[in-house]
Amino acid sequence: MAALRLTLAASLAASRARPPLARRPPPAPCSASTGAMEPEPRWLAGLRFDNRALRALPVETPPSGPEGAPSAPRPVPGACFSRVRPAPLRQPRVVALSEPALALLGLGAPPADAAAREAREAEAALFFSGNALLPGAEPAAHCYCGHQFGQFAGQLGDGAAMYLGEVCTAAGERWELQLKGAGPTPFSRQADGRKVLRSSVREFLCSEAMFHLGIPTTRAGACVTSQSTVERDVFYDGNPRPEQCAVVLRVAPTFLRFGSFEIFKSSDEHTGRAGPSVGRNDIRVQMLDYVISTFYPEIQATHASDSVQRHAAFFREVTRRTAQLVAEWQCVGFCHGVLNTDNMSIVGLTIDYGPFGFLDRYDPDHVCNASDTAGRYSYSRQPEVCKWNLQKLAEALDPALPLELAEAILAEEFDAEFHRHYLQKMRWKLGLVRAEREEDSALVARLLETMHLTGADFTNSFYLLSSFPAGPESPDLDEFLAALTAQCASLEELRLAFRPQMDPRQLSMMLMLAQSNPQLLALIGTRASLARELERVERQSRLEQLSPAELHSKNRSHWAEWLLEYRARLEKDQEAAGDTAAWQAERVRVMHANNPKYVLRNYIAQGAIQAAESGDFSEVRRVLKLLETPYRGEGEAAEACEVAEPEEASGEAGGAASRRHSYSCKPPLWAAELCVT
């Protein structure tokens, strides 16, 4: 099994981030050009570039030397960008285009004529692979640093991504275009600057899925594959295999991140590493001026004459947006996987889709990234980690924003904003549309506890609650309970989920070390792993003594208890409304708008990846279209969540067609074997 490398709020965030465009001088010529004549675009000829970031921020001039020197790995001091050139791919070919994302750039709908569509895709493959540059594009790689898994890593930067430029549209919007996987840059270190089809399909699909879920995110306009290959050690087991190179066209107001401001960090007390631009407070102020004037113009206008208050208002808004963003993640069960400071957007977007995942069986300690052995970025810890990352941003802004002031803002804003946004979203998911009550937080907590105890499917359980019989005169709960308990984990699923991961001899040795030298155990960072392993062993033992009938009875009992509490709370909400029919209609409408039927589960992405790797892109396109409408439409008939039949639980690529009807299923058992790193 191949491994996976896999808005109302979004609209508000984007509209706040984009100032109206004044008339600007023509864009500078592309200094990265080799001098050869570039092909002339047709479909893309209307894209107008105005690359403000390269004018406003310092750009490194690549060192002179032999051909290829501009992409040689090196420190890049005193600059925010370094000019680069995409490396061509052999026979690029479009996997899929996202029409809603491309529409942001003013690109029209696909033509009905098949020949015209083919010409359009050929042009997209040429320019969105990096094989040719659009007029006005100025490829550059962004320099940033980051705290990775809690440790400062020094200079990182765009090792596999390239800024192409900023497109200004007739609607007065400004969008940065980026190619991810277009070849080496000064920040590639020992890597090749390439991305493979497997990870590119995941990023492409999830970028668009998150937008249509209503979550602030960067967008993906195209996914292009090729005949070029690179070797990747998928399982990190010393057995690399060739994989197809691919490129994703990413679109966002900006790809600047928390780590963009960490290039000024002095030597870290733990790692000894420093940023490449230590002491350059002039560039820090330059970056702040650019970011605030471009993406937070209302803050610039309000605090034009007071830089400290301007910087404070900026940090306050970034804190609020980040709190709201992670609250949105928690409410759809999204796990980012690599919440390093270099993967946190400065404008509050979900950015850099790597080993992400959506919760299937609800587990607050779920870790979607198999490389995260300590569980730092588990689902339940995401709010805490985002706050920690904001602390690092606060440190990076000092002295332009005094650290004490930034820390006071963080303490005042983050927790309050997160809990407010999270609880309001959860109320909507539960159809509580009228009176807000203090006990709502406890109701949500008990729901999640019930889901955890029963191993309930996160997405499908919330989706089913939309059809809960609310009134006291409603029929008994037997039928509804049957549908709900069908979404709980089976005995087989639980035994697979809680099987021990350590060899018994290794576990015995770790237990001996815990008794004889607990300090050493803590030092090597395996205490949490040991605790999780002991929990697995204990759970496995209990499960061995449980029958399917007993498990079903327990699950039914847990849900029946919570549903009685939920029905009582709905009755109070109804009483506050007065008009029962209007309340019921609003409740159903709000729940349908906040409880998706479809999310990008790993097994769905894997089916699309396997088909694409065999040259069939239809499944990627089918899944992309499906994810454009994740919520039940107005007037659409209620549809029960499906349960995968055992014969469908096949990991073979050929099973993609048979899965067309099962995108809302609980994942098949083989999905538990998928490894996302």
Q: What is the mean pLDDT of residues 121-133?
A: 98
Q: What Å distances lie between residue 228 and 194, 225, 326, 467, CA to CA? A: 10, 8, 37, 50
Tokens representing 646 are 């055992």
- Rounded to 5°, the CA angle 325-607-597 comes to 45
Does 658 or 394 have the greater pLDDT score? 394
Widest Cα–Cα separation across the chain = 81
Tokens representing 57 are 């921020």
Query: What's the chain's average pLDDT?
Result: 89
Is 478 one of the annotated active-site residues of the chain? Answer: no
Query: Do β-strands 357-358 and 334-335 pair in parallel, antiparallel, or remain unpaired?
Result: antiparallel
Res. 624 pLDDT band, cuts 50 70 90:
very high
Q: What is the mean pLDDT of residues 180-187?
A: 97
Q: What is the mean pLDDT of residues 365-387?
A: 95
User: How many C-beta atoms lie closer than 10 Å to residue 269's C-beta?
Assistant: 7
Distance CA 19, CA 298 (A): 9
Burial 128-144 (b: 16+ CB within 10 A, else e): bbbbbbbebbbbbbbbb
Q: What is the mean pLDDT of residues 152-174?
A: 97
| Residues 372, 218 contacting (CB under 8 angstroms) | no
Q: Which of 47, 42, 54, 21 is nearest to 251 (CA)?
A: 47
> What pLDDT score does 525 carry?
59
Inform me whether the pLDDT recorded for 14 exceeds 70.
no
Q: Percent of the chain at pLDDT above 70?
A: 88
> What pLDDT score does 640 carry?
53
> What pLDDT score does 675 carry?
84
Q: Which of 665, 613, 667 is nearest to 3 (CA)?
A: 613
Residues paired with residue 240 on neighbouring β-strands, in sequence order: none
The residue ranges of DSSP E strands in 551-608, in sequence order, are: none
Inform me whether the pLDDT recorded for 642 exceeds 80.
no
239-260 tens-digit pLDDT:
899 999 999 999 999 999 999 9
Res. 516 pLDDT band, cuts 50 70 90:
confident
SS3 state of residue 631: coil
48-98 tens-digit pLDDT:
999 999 999 999 987 776 544 678 899 999 999 999 999 999 999 999 999
Q: Among 18-22, 44-48, 673-677, which stretch is predicted with the lowest mean pLDDT?
A: 18-22
Does 30 or 631 have the greater pLDDT score? 631
Inform me whether the pLDDT recorded for 510 exceeds 70.
yes
> What pLDDT score does 534 carry?
83
Q: What is the mean pLDDT of residues 366-389?
A: 95
406-452 tens-digit pLDDT:
999 999 999 999 999 999 999 999 999 998 999 999 999 999 999 99
Given the residues 342, 352, 440, 573, the one annotated as active site: 342
Res. 230 pLDDT band, cuts 50 70 90:
very high
Inform me whether the pLDDT recorded for 529 exceeds 80.
no
pTM summary value? 0.90
Does 238 or 391 have the greater pLDDT score? 391
| Residues 534, 501 contacting (CB under 8 angstroms) | no
Q: Percent of the chain at pLDDT above 90?
A: 74
